[in-house]
Amino acid sequence: MAILFPSKRVVGFILSFYVFVLCFLPAVFCAGHLQKLHLPDPGPDSFAFDSAGQGPYTGVADGRIFKYKGPKVGFVEYGYSKADRSARFCDGTNSTALAKSCGRPSGLGFYYKTGELYVADDGVGLVVIGPKGGAGKVLASGAEKVPFGLPDGLDVDQNTGIVYFTDATARYTINEIPQIIASGDSTGRLLKYNPRTKKVTVLLRRLAGPAGVAISKDRSYLLVTEFLKSRVWKYWLRGPKANTAHVLLNVPGSPSKIVRNNVGDFWLAMTVKRQVPTPRIKLQGLRINGYGKILETITFNPGFDSSMITEVHEHKGALYLGSLYVGYVGVYRKF
């Protein structure tokens, strides 16, 4: 007896019907799937992928940087930003008080032409790690005779090798985050490092907790977040408005890192805290364009169980989620 199989058209119709029905159920069924890639130490603040698309690479609380090598191997140690850190003393620690002794990688970015990994380290400054990993080299620990307090966001211009990064405060350290928030500190800066001249230039001053920076696809401007004032700045690098800045977008939460995707949009990590009628936290990713228009909003908790989200990094159809307070990398894939 011959067995009749449904045609591709019929199969497609059936699948479409079930998706249609399911998406009238609560949003959780249609939102997406969250996977957790567990780390040897907590605190994946930011991510980078190398020129071959491998990774993610991420820094953790004890000062090390790890590379993910697939589900069978997991994360392996790649390097560290403080060259003279003691592995015996630092490995496995989770204390912000040890950032100056052990390092605390925050913003990460590869320069693909050389394979170098640039690191904004909360306890050390601006650091570069060679293409084979290992110990980092300190490039700068301050600018204009003012030491860095909390180097945070970072991005690399792949055409010139210039590194753009933020210093969230010139007054406090990572061990004093409550004081930064309570004081409304506005000593943060946007900076650039030129690898040819080896000089650091201050581009913007008096920022309130600048946590992230991203360069546009055409390299004509930067987007910079202000964590304490809930807004995004646009700083022009080229054109008639070069070297000027304006507020591009006000957001209903505290924005941390910002990362451009391959299309040219930007993912903004935002923590929204509400006290009324009951205390609650939303950990969200906002996809925006260079004109300040919000194109998409995704809420990641309670699956992503943290009190703050620091980065949403799109790579090959997945969103990589970071936080100072979890022991894993969140990988979110939309259904």
Find how far residue 330's CA is from the centre of its chain: 12
Sequence letter at residue 204: L
Kindly state the DSSP code that residue 144 receives in the 8-state scheme. Answer: T
Q: What pLDDT score was predicted for residue 99?
A: 94
Q: Sorting pLDDT into bands at 50, 70 and 90, what band is 4?
A: very low
Q: What pLDDT score was predicted for residue 28?
A: 40
Q: pTM for this structure?
A: 0.90
Q: What pLDDT score was predicted for residue 335?
A: 78
Query: What average pLDDT score do residues 233-239 get?
Result: 97
Q: Sorting pLDDT into bands at 50, 70 and 90, what band is 225?
A: very high
Q: Is the pLDDT of residue 19 over 80?
A: no
Q: Sorting pLDDT into bands at 50, 70 and 90, what band is 222?
A: very high
| Rounded CA separation 268/130 (Å) | 29
Query: What average pLDDT score do residues 314-330 get?
Result: 97
Spell out the domain ranges in the chain: 42-257
User: Strand 266-274 vs strand 280-288: parallel, antiparallel, or unpaired?
Assistant: antiparallel
| Rounded CA separation 259/288 (Å) | 10
Q: Starting from the edge strand earliest in sequence, which strands make up the sheet with 116-121, in order?
A: 47-48, 57-59, 64-68, 75-80, 134-140, 125-129, 116-121, 105-111
Residues recorded for the chain: 335
Matching residue, tokens 């004890």: 62
Q: What pLDDT score was predicted for residue 149?
A: 96
Closest to 56 in 3D by CA, of 42, 35, 40, 37: 37
For 21, the 3-state DSSP assignment is helix
pLDDT in tens, 155-176: 999 999 999 999 999 999 888 8
Closest to 323 in 3D by CA, of 59, 44, 12, 18: 44
Q: Sorting pLDDT into bands at 50, 70 and 90, what band is 276?
A: confident
Closest to 156 in 3D by CA, of 230, 75, 248, 46: 46
The per-residue pLDDT of the chain, averaged, comes to 92
Q: Is the pLDDT of residue 5 over 60?
A: no
User: Which phi-psi region, left, alpha or beta, contains residue 206 (left: φ > 0; alpha: ψ -120 to 50)?
Assistant: left
Copy the structure tokens of residue 58: 């991420």
Find all residues with CB under 8 Å of 258, minimum gap 6, and list them: 153, 212, 213, 214, 223, 224, 225, 232, 266, 267, 268, 269
CB–CB of 227/185 below 8 Å? no
Q: What pLDDT score was predicted for residue 65?
A: 98
Q: Nearest 5 degrees, angle CA 126-CA 131-CA 137?
A: 30
Query: What average pLDDT score do residues 225-243 get?
Result: 97
Q: What pLDDT score was predicted for residue 6?
A: 52
| Rounded CA separation 127/36 (Å) | 28
42-257 has CATH 3.40.640.10 classification: no
Q: Sorting pLDDT into bands at 50, 70 and 90, what band is 21?
A: very low
β-sheet bridge partners, residue 97: none
